[in-house]
Copies of this chain bind each other. A is one copy, B any other.
């Protein structure tokens, strides 16, 4: 799998003629990854509920690990002593780690953010910690990720233009510190494998700030760029507009990663705007609560209407769960608090996203992205609308 002859690179293999969608290939020391790609999230060393054999069987070739969680438990030093995160968790595919920038903002009790870094209290035990760009690099290098993310300053939805501009400036200064800590000329590990650092474009909901942030990062000529700080509460249409705006500014020949997005229709819209990489906890998180994704929107399989439904979770799905188990059975598992319910729902959902990305890549290859993906978006949205209407008959709800 690992080969010194294949340093990190990104190749575009085909482009859609009518949109910015592109089909490419990300080449890493831990394998080649066809793009657009969806990365399952393995927060704390595990794509929750699934063995890595099961993750690999869905077709996933790259997963995401969380610096924040792994730093707190079991600790990056311990993981490094085990030979790095690949070896520790038994995953031989490619690995991207986030920088903890988003988690200290969203999960931890944020005590203080200044130019030096972010002081916060652990969501696990309240212990106090200080994250800096340098520490984020140290942790990610210890974990041994193929793709390391810069430590950025993410602002909350609702931040004004002044606070957003400050975060853009700080994100750039912190990125320079990340580059210094990571190794200005790139980085190869002890064994000679190349690792890369991606920058993260911020700028909140202000297109001008997005433009300014992208320009600053592009000057630093990194091997890949992420669009950060979206899907944090802004309206969907604004998220789409900001994604399209930001993606259009980024270099054509570098991979573009839209962080934390999302639903199938959001992903298709992202690809349409020229995004190559996605991640989201959605498929595994909703699975553990008894909800699965289907071509016709989400399905809350744990609910009683499915108690005698002999159909698979998604009748059009070719995953191992849909081949063997019915909605009635999986509903029974959730009703009986059998952990297998969470496993089967997670496995189906992770497979569903990999299958969606295969369909998207085929749509680009055949040169008719919109014609192939419009029906997918339409069915998803109609299914979601029906589900929300039906749920609304019993109680207020929504997306």
Q: In this complex, what residue of B is CB-closest to A74?
A: B332
A49 at the interface (CB under 8 A from B): yes
Contact of A48 among B44, B52, B310, B340 (CB under 8 A): B340
A88 at the interface (CB under 8 A from B): yes
8 Å CB interface, A299-341 against B: 307-308, 310, 320, 324-326, 328-329, 332-333, 335-336, 338-340
Interface residues of A (CB under 8 A from B): 44-46, 48-53, 69, 73-74, 78, 81-83, 88-90, 307-308, 310, 320, 324-326, 328-329, 332-333, 335-336, 338-340, 342-344, 347
Q: In this complex, what residue of B is CB-closest to A342?
A: B339
A52 in contact with B324 given A74-B335, A336-B73 (CB within 8 Å): yes
How far, in Å, is A22 (CB) from chain B's closest CB? 35
How far, in Å, is A65 (CB) from chain B's closest CB? 13
Q: Are A333 and B88 in contact (CB under 8 A)?
A: no
When A and B form their complex, which 3 residue pairs have the shortest distance between CB atoms, in order from nearest? A90-B324, A46-B340, A74-B332
How far, in Å, is A51 (CB) from chain B's closest CB? 7
A343 in contact with B49 given A44-B336, A82-B328, A90-B324 (CB within 8 Å): yes
Q: Are B339 and A48 in contact (CB under 8 A)?
A: yes
Question: Which residues in B have their C-beta under 8 angstroms from that of A78?
Answer: 307-308, 328
Question: Which residues in B have their C-beta under 8 angstroms from that of A73?
Answer: 332, 335-336
Q: Are B46 and A88 in contact (CB under 8 A)?
A: no
Q: Which among A332, A344, A347 has the greatest number of chain B C-beta atoms within 10 A?
A: A332
Q: Are A49 and B339 in contact (CB under 8 A)?
A: yes
Question: Which residues in B have their C-beta under 8 angstroms from that of A324?
Answer: 52-53, 90
A–B Cβ pairs within 8 angstroms, 24 of them? A44-B332, A44-B338, A45-B333, A45-B336, A45-B338, A46-B336, A46-B338, A48-B338, A48-B339, A49-B339, A49-B340, A49-B343, A51-B344, A51-B347, A74-B307, A74-B332, A78-B307, A81-B308, A82-B310, A82-B329, A88-B332, A89-B329, A339-B339, A339-B342
